[in-house]
Structure 1
Amino acid sequence: LIPGEAAFYGPKIDVKLIDAIGRAWQLSTVQFDFNLPKKFELEYVASDGQRKRPLMVHRALYGSIERFFGILIEHYCGAFPLWLAPVQVKVLTITEGQLEAGQALVASLRSAGLRADLDSRHEKVGAKIRDATLEKVPYMAILGPKDIAAGTVALRLRDGRQVPGIAPEELIAKLLKEAREKLLAPVFAS
């Protein structure tokens, strides 16, 4: 019960969430409506042959979903955990010479079920990192000539932390674990 508030139609259940700055938002409502069936003289014949008035149930669906996504975006400030991020890994090439390896890494990530994109633009790697960070991509896999020669990837987290020289297979395994277990903190946190 909410003190001082009366539902016009009848008893109701409200689900409310608190957002990132402490405001309460009503996400969904389910309530009985005792007025409209009476007002519209709605009736049905029950199995015993008696005329009865139906119970009407209202529920909010579409507004609830929109509010939920709004609160979710606000809560994470757009920096979703890996399992929820639209792009989970952005592969960044340092020069044109890593294009083929970058495409192969993206293909491996995607075939493992991860959402990955390739940034092979003719830009400095710093600009690519900045853009991926602004897009709030959780992980950037950076490929340069030394990485390809070593068979590794330099990994950068969106918060700026770096993991040098990780094998692509290990990268994929750890990212899949993080996504599968719906972890909120990166598996590469240490």
Structure 2
Amino acid sequence: NWGRAQRRAVSQWYTKQNPSELAMAVTKYQNREGYTHRDVLRLSHPSTKDPLICFLFDYITHGLQKAIEHLKSTNDNHNTENITDTYQQEVEQKQIILNNDNEEDDEINNKKLLTIEQLKEFLETVEKVKTSTDENELITAIRQHHLVREHLPTNMLNSKNIWAVLLENMPLTAMAYFLIKLPKYFLN
């Protein structure tokens, strides 16, 4: 049983995340140490008014189809474009505040502004990729949505072409972790 401080800390981690980073995290790291994101959300009871985070919470707890159905029912009562515009304005304001001579600024400024439609498309792609056996489809998805190794079916990780695309944007720390497997594909 979690105490109030632990619930608040975990809840704030989820609600304070950039929605695109949270989407990547929950799809990349689906469970650790026997806990899923669904378990953690049920233990921490996070609450937010951010429609993107709410959509992600629905996805985590109920799956993609239910999240889309819930989104459609709430969109009948609200204008999605206004929600998206408000979120984009908030992101732009944060970018202006952070616009100093800092290495992190380029990373922040290069991040795509995320709309509900883009988030839905990303999650649909992640779900589709889980069962895909089409190498070209996977390569397109990796490039278009910046998917990582953890998003892909294990049986497709034997492809030299898929590893070549994964390496294009793989961080150095992740690359170091996979150095043992990489010679198998590239030193033939």
TM normalised by structure 2 equals 0.22
Specify which structure has the higher proportion of helix.
2
Specify which structure has the higher proportion of strand.
1
Larger radius of gyration: 1
